[in-house]
């Protein structure tokens, strides 16, 4: 994949506080990339540096091989959508979408026609005459998206754009944004702290923590092969188990509560090293009796959280907390304060390199 947007050595320092440190990224043309991380991790600061609203203390930003250094935000040909939409209340939807074309000198008749075409694309055909106060939150979000796309930007930047929407509308807009992005082929960066948004929408995810990039990978790689303990704990639910490698060649380790644990050898560690092993809750089987061919341990059930189609069973093996995800219909085999067996195979155990 050739690089379209390139960030090299981006750092940002505010006095004694380092907000970003050595961020390097290569994003391909037409990619949908999500910046994911907790509040204060540096994801929005990176976005604002790309947009030109913040200046980097050091490092460079290039689009299609051309540096953005010294260019004001309006000179960068970048479309931006914020969480608060930023629509002009005194302009209709079509006039809002036409505004960036007007700033670029396009005549009103042609500009409003193009604005209506873009409103059609985002599912707002016939809404061009309405004012923002006459639109729902989801409709206002679509107008903001149309306005960011109407001038055919080099990049589309979305800064937590779905945060103000309710759950159902947020899920609907996730699908719509991805559909529109694919239809136009515009290179897109989406900022969120919501891991489900990142997993469902992205070609690749960039995980930030404390101003550093922890991992850049596809959603499935991030989920199944996290490179750090932070990524493993932040993406999805995890059982993170501290262990000591007893035989690196065979893929064997030991934990005080679980005893001997086999894992698929990776060559990332050596015998005698302290490591972290990850087992996702959905990869653990819950049963009344031991299951042949699997590692079995006894767990005391403390809490069962039902979600309808599945349930989360929380318990302890000795002093070690464990979480098991089971189908809702299967959870009836066990009750809170009872003991059960949990089991897994070596293929379900992933060794985190660092």
pLDDT digits (tens, 9 = 90+) for 117-139: 999 999 899 999 999 999 988 89
Residue located via tokens 């490179």: 227
| CB-CB contact of 46 with 24 (8 Å) | no
| Residue 176: pLDDT band with limits 50, 70, 90 | confident
Query: What pLDDT is attached to residue 211?
Result: 96
Q: Is the pLDDT of residue 88 over 70?
A: yes
User: 5-230 has which fold?
Assistant: Rossmann fold (3.40.50)
| Residue 260: pLDDT band with limits 50, 70, 90 | very high
Cα 334 from chain centroid (whole Å)? 34
* Residue 117 host element (H or E): helix 108-121
Of 134-138, 167-171, 213-217, the range with the highest mean pLDDT is 213-217
* Residue 171 host element (H or E): helix 167-184
Q: Where in the chain do CATH 2.40.50.140 domains reside?
A: 237-352
Write out the two tokens for 338.
């009872």
| Residue 269: pLDDT band with limits 50, 70, 90 | confident
Q: Give me the mean pLDDT over the 301-311 stretch.
A: 90
Q: Is the pLDDT of residue 353 over 80?
A: no
Q: Where in the chain do CATH 3.40.50.300 domains reside?
A: 5-230
Residues of the chain above pLDDT 90, percent: 80
Residues of the chain above pLDDT 70, percent: 98
Q: Is the pLDDT of residue 63 over 90?
A: yes
| Residue 354: pLDDT band with limits 50, 70, 90 | low
How far apart are the C-alpha atoms of 247 and 238, rounded to whole Å? 24
Q: Give me the mean pLDDT over the 233-253 stretch.
A: 94
pLDDT digits (tens, 9 = 90+) for 308-333: 888 999 999 999 999 999 986 676 77
Across all residues in the chain, what is the average pLDDT? 92
Residue located via tokens 């850049």: 216
Q: What burial letters (b/e) apply to 206-235, b meaning 16+ CB within 10 Å?
A: bbbbebbbbbbbebeebbebbbbbbbbebb
Query: What pLDDT is attached to residue 56?
Result: 95
| CB-CB contact of 248 with 234 (8 Å) | no
In the DSSP assignment, the letter for residue 114 is H
The CATH number that domain 237-352 falls under is: 2.40.50.140
Q: Give me the mean pLDDT over the 34-56 stretch.
A: 95
- Residue count of the chain, please give it: 354
Q: Give me the mean pLDDT over the 251-278 stretch.
A: 92
């Amino acid at each position: 994949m050739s690089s379209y947007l390139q960030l090299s050595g981006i750092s940002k320092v505010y006095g004694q506080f380092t907000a970003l440190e050595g961020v390097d990224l290569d994003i391909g043309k037409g990619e949908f990339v999500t910046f994911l991380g907790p509040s204060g991790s540096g994801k929005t600061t990176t976005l604002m540096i790309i947009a030109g609203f913040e200046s980097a203390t050091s490092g460079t930003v290039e689009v299609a091989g051309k540096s953005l250094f010294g260019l004001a935000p309006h000179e960068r040909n970048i479309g931006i959508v914020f969480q608060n939409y930023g629509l002009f209340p005194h302009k209709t939807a079509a006039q809002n979408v036409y505004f960036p074309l007007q700033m670029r000198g396009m005549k009103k008749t042609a500009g409003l026609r193009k604005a209506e075409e873009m409103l059609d694309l985002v599912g707002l055909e016939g809404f061009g005459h309405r004012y923002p106060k006459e639109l729902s939150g989801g409709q206002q979000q679509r107008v903001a998206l149309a306005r960011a796309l109407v001038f055919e930007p080099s990049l589309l930047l979305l800064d937590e754009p779905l945060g103000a929407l309710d759950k159902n509308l947020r899920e609907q807009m996730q699908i719509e944004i991805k559909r529109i992005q694919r239809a136009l082929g515009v290179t897109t960066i989406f900022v969120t702290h919501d891991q489900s948004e990142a997993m469902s929408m992205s070609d690749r995810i960039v995980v930030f923590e404390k101003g550093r990039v922890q991992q850049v990978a596809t959603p499935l790689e991030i989920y199944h092969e996290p490179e750090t303990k932070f990524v493993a704990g932040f993406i999805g639910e995890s059982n993170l188990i501290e262990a000591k490698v007893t035989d690196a060649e065979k893929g064997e380790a030991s934990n005080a509560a679980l005893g001997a644990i086999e894992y698929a050898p990776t060559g990332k560690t050596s015998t005698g090293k302290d490591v972290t092993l990850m087992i996702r809750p959905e990869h653990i089987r819950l049963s009344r009796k031991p299951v042949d061919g699997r590692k079995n341990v006894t767990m005391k059930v403390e809490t069962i959280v039902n979600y309808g189609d599945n349930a989360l069973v929380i318990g302890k093996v000795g002093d070690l907390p464990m979480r098991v995800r089971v189908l809702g219909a299967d959870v009836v085999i066990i009750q809170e304060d009872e003991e059960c067996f949990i089991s897994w195979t070596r293929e379900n155990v992933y060794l985190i390199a660092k």
